[in-house]
């Protein structure tokens, strides 16, 4: 996966570019992604949460994050968004592997995430990485999955 790499996201302008680009993806594609309208504010105020830009052949193609640490959680939540035009290039698998490596380096005991129940492809990938279903979110079409790191 030498064609894929990530860099820590440090500036607001880059993050705004990512958010704007993701909003141009199709409604069907975005139906699996639950955007947080305060994401830019969360990014700006983060001290412990981690955000990374993802590149494919030197083109910005999305981002991933480990969040919840600024809110006092000891287990970060993995979040990812890959632009629609870059789907099916194993970019999500790369980002997940990087998030797991980061979690090990930082000695987090686990990594968790939420995934839409209808996003079968993503669920299969998460299971391949060892994630286990720990909860069905009430009132949402979402599973909560966790990977034990330690």
**DSSP H helix total and E strand total for the chain:** 5, 7
Residue 56 domain-assigned (yes or no) = yes
Q: What is the pLDDT of residue 35?
A: 59
Q: How many domains does the chain have?
A: 1
DSSP class per residue in 54-86? EEETTEEEEEEEEESTTTT-SS-EEEEEE-GGG
Q: What is the pLDDT of residue 65?
A: 95
150: pLDDT strictly greater than 80: no
| Residue 98: domain span | 4-108
- Its pTM stands at 0.89
Q: Looking at residues 98-127, what average pLDDT do you find?
A: 94
Residue 63 domain-assigned (yes or no) = yes
Q: What is the pLDDT of residue 1?
A: 60
Q: Looking at residues 70-86, what average pLDDT do you find?
A: 95
CB of 92 closer than 8 Å to CB of 125: yes
> What's the CATH code of the domain at 67?
3.40.630.30
Show Cβ contacts of residue 76 under 8 Å, excluding neighbours closer than 6 positions: 49, 50, 66, 67, 68, 69, 103, 108, 111, 112
């Amino acid at each position: 996966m030498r064609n894929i790499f990530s860099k820590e996201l440090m500036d607001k302008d880059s993050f705004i570019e990512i958010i704007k680009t993701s909003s141009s993806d199709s409604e069907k594609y975005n139906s699996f992604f639950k955007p947080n309208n305060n994401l830019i504010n969360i990014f700006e105020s983060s001290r412990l949460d981690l955000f990374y830009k993802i590149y494919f052949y030197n083109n910005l193609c999305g981002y991933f994050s480990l969040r919840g640490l600024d809110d006092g959680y000891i287990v970060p939540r993995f979040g990812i968004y890959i632009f629609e035009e870059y789907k099916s290039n194993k970019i999500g698998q790369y980002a997940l592997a990087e998030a797991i490596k980061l979690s090990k380096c930082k000695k987090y005991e686990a990594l968790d995430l939420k995934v839409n129940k209808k996003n079968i492809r993503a669920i299969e990938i998460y299971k391949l990485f060892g994630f286990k279903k720990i909860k069905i979110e009430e009132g949402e079409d979402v599973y909560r999955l966790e990977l034990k790191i330690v």
